[in-house]
Structure 1
Amino acid sequence: MSATAMINIAKNQLGLDEDTYRGMLHRVAGKVSLREMSEADKLKVIDDLKQKGFDPAVKSPSKGKRKRLEGKFAAKLQALWIAGYNLGVVTNGSDEALIAFVKRQTKLDHVRFLHDPADGYKAIECLKRWLNRAAGVKWAKDALVPDWANQPHGQIVLAQWQTLTKAGRINGESLSETVWSICGYDGKPVLNNLKPKEWQTAMNELGRRIRKADRP
């Protein structure tokens, strides 16, 4: 495991918020970004985190798998709803809140929009329009951007980055560098190589930062 990956695991294990984390990096290594550090700097950071209680042998606690809604269109609707939660426009990420929202917007019973193709399409498009309007997600394909930026996960991450930029929560790193680091990688980012689970990890972490920025 790389030093960068271990530091990110330690950050999560110890529950360090972004300000505390950046302050610790500066105190230990004189830098606020892992990208700027040498390998020796990173090892100093790991030693400091161990003194604070980080145990590399402890696995991250399993949160259990989220029970999926049933129906042909359930997974897509749930993915869009969680994206809204990670974009800061959904305050309740539960399936019950998802069903209530779609019912209000479409007047459709959830049995219909989870199973019927025409109604499922209406519900999905309803959520996509809302995320575009409320969070600036741009769903249209663009031939001038990398492949990852034309995928739903990339489109959501770009909107998350825009939200964090507007909130003044970007600390000098680029979007690519930040996503690469969240996923535990060193070196030059190659986002087209990331797997779906890694994109989800990135969206969840950026969502956590957005929700933290929204708190007074």
Structure 2
Amino acid sequence: MNIIAVINIAKVQLGMEEADYRAMLAQVTGKTSLRAMTPVEHKLVLDRMKALGFRVKVGAKRLPKVARPQIRRLYALWYSCHRYGVIANRSNAALRAFCGRVLAPGQDGVVFDPDLLSPPQASKVIEVLKAMEERGQRAAG
């Protein structure tokens, strides 16, 4: 199930009127249409709906992981940095926060889902992780 379908399910589950729904979209992203949004903005909308009380039902399928080689490389570098002791917390939440710090420096609290990064964004994070991994390898001897 794609993220737009999940957002529409959340709208129904939360009992949102169309005007309230559009106002929430505008407040979160500045856009009133899901079609006009980027995948990152879709994630922000879904996060807001979860904060409003939307819950994915138990047993529901998870959103599919992105199978792009670039994103797999990003995860591999993240786990490698953890193995070398460069990062202490290898959780996905920590990776999302790290992506936010790399892609939006100086904006505390901004997170980016690695699975939804554009190729240029993923490349930027990968380059930073490669440098960190190299430092970890040198420190390990």
User: Could you say which TM-score interval applies, normalised by the shorter chain?
Assistant: 0.3 to 0.5
With normalisation by structure 1, the TM-score equals: 0.30
With normalisation by structure 2, the TM-score equals: 0.43
**Which is higher, the Rg of structure 1 or of structure 2?**
1
Q: Bigger relative contact order, structure 1 or 2, given CA contacts below 8 A and separation 6+?
A: 2
